[in-house]
Amino acid sequence: MVVPGAGAVTVGAGKHWGLSLATPVIVKYRDDKTDLRPALEQLALPALVLCGRFDPIPLPAAEDTARRLKAELVVFEDSGHVPYVEETARFVQVLDGFLPRAA
């Protein structure tokens, strides 16, 4: 995958780490041998998928991952790729709620 232009960008009122929406992204598509997403459906374990609203990885990818894992999806509305930095308090709150259930 080639992703030019990575770095901090300003989105809305805050600073988010990731790609500018105006940055061209070239993605090499995976073939059947390297696409491991179907294997996620075979996992039987507690899972939580976290995604920033402004993450350069598209929300549909997080939704697909959560669906395949039968996991809860939490979207951080004021975050890019690093919600543990951009929304630390909420990130800790979400994990504090999940980890006791996953143990």
Quick: pLDDT tens for 31-67.
666 778 888 899 899 999 999 999 999 999 999 999 9
- Closest by CA to 12, choosing from 2, 21, 3, 24, is 21
CA-CA distance, 27 to 60, in Å (whole number)?
16
Parse the chain into domains and list their residue ranges. Answer: 32-102
What is the pTM assigned to this prediction? 0.68
* pLDDT value for 36: 83
- How far apart CA 2 and CA 24 sit, in angstroms, is 10
